[in-house]
Amino acid sequence: MTVSEYNESVESYSDNLYRFVLKNIKDIDKAKDIVQDTFLKFWEKRDNVDKSKIKSYLFTIAYHSLIDVIRRDKRQGSFDDVKEDSYSIQTEYSDLQEILHEAIEQLPENQKAVILLRDYEGYAYDEIAEITGMTESQVKVYIFRGRKFLKKYLVSVEALI
């Protein structure tokens, strides 16, 4: 792979990768770091990557880096994770987009990742399986369970209050 082909890949996929990672971790700096790390790893392995699978390869690297960061942060904990509004009662109507993001945040990591890859990024089940390292049937189960939870969450009365 030449430098110009690599640069083309960066131009084509960096925004999608950043959006995917940012939706999962909600930290701009960490998302930028993960995307940068993804492209660094891609550069190191550029000669071993099939040109027709560059996008899947990049999302696979980003997904695994994302999982590593999430696991590391879970062990450490942070005061930034505490939300002041979770200790108060909200009486006015929230924006539907906020409610959807809040619902997605309630999902387990695996379900959140596959839902975002499928519904936000538009990947097929087999591509998601390849990116996440799961079987295609596992991906379908996680998507089903995630959507079922989201439906229940969004329909509940508490979500609209």
- How do residues 67-80 score in pLDDT, each as one tens digit? 888 888 777 655 56
- 8-12, 141-145, 146-150, range with the lowest pLDDT: 8-12
Q: Range(s) for CATH 1.10.1740.10 in the chain? A: 1-82
The number of angstroms, rounded, from the C-alpha of 154 to the middle of its chain's C-alpha atoms is 20
Place of tokens 């083309």: 8
State the chain's mean pLDDT as an integer: 81
CATH topology of domain 1-82: Rna Polymerase Sigma Factor; Chain: A (1.10.1740)
Please measure the distance between the N-terminal and C-terminal CA atoms of the chain and give it in whole angstroms. Answer: 54
- Report yes or no: 146 and 113 within 8 Å, Cβ to Cβ: no
pLDDT at 159 over 50: no
Instruction: Write the CB contacts of 29 (distance below 8 Å, at least 6 apart in sequence).
Output: none
Q: Are 60 and 38 in contact (CB under 8 A)?
A: no
Domain with CATH 1.10.10.10 in the chain: 92-161
Is the CATH number of domain 92-161 1.10.1670.10?
no
